[in-house]
Structure 1
Amino acid sequence: MFRISKEFHFSASHRLDHLAPDHQCARLHGHNYVVVVELAAPDLNADGFLRDYHELAPLKAYIDESFDHRHLNDVLDGPTTAENLARHFFLWCRSRWPEVSAVKVSETPKTWAEFRP
């Protein structure tokens, strides 16, 4: 199985309104997010690629237009956790590229959430 991945970045604010008012994540705050999309396939195409990285440019455009420097509570339904962001980006990517096997989202350099069906 061949696997490739590509990393994307954006900055955004959010709050987790469903948490207790004294929880730090219930307050308005922001992150410099990292999104990593992973693709997997047993074979390569005629050019020797699983998929040309350039073909993932629509994800960068989607992130830049809909997520970068936005308030995530205005963009997504439900809790704006890293876990839900990973699932959201996975579903968006999988609808375009069937080889997508996982998406990871980081809010801080030490934390990651992954959605992999």
Structure 2
Amino acid sequence: MLRITKDFQFSASHRLDHLPDDHQCARLHGHNYTVQLELSVQSRDDLTRAGFVRDYGDLADFKKWLDSELDHRHLNDVISGRNPSAENLAMWIYELWSERFSEISAVRVSETPKTWAEYRP
């Protein structure tokens, strides 16, 4: 298997439901998020003619979407029907973008430099 990854950043606020009132994540707060897209193919026969899993330049539309839809937004208002945890955000992004980029094999979301959530179907 051959894999590539690319990191993207955005800043946003959220508040998580279904937590005790004194839990810090139940209060309105924000993060400087990192989203990592992982794209993969099974073998070298699946690479593009140039030898890529996918050209990194093809991911520019994802960055534009991230900037317009998530950056400096309140995620509770953007991700309808889901508690905007890092886990749910990773699944939501995968569901939205896997049709456009069939090579997406995982989406990772970081809220802090030490924490990551990963969705890998």
Aligned to 1:34: 34
SS at match of 2:18: coil
Does residue 104 of the first structure (1) align with residue 91 of the second (2)? no
1:20-99 map, 5 Å: 20-41=20-41, 42=43, 43-77=46-80, 78-99=82-103
Q: In structure 2, what is the equivalent of residue 9 of structure 1? A: 9
- Between the aligned partners of 2:57 and 2:115, the Cα distance in structure 1 is 27
Identity %: 61
Q: Which runs of 5+ in 1 are unaligned?
A: none
Q: Structure 2 length as normaliser, TM-score?
A: 0.93
Q: Name the aligned partner's letter for residue 100 of structure 1.
A: I
Q: Tell me which stretches of 4 or more aligned residues in structure 1 moved more than 2 Å.
A: none
Gaps of at least 5 residues in structure 2 are none
- Matched positions, count: 117
TM-score (norm 1): 0.97
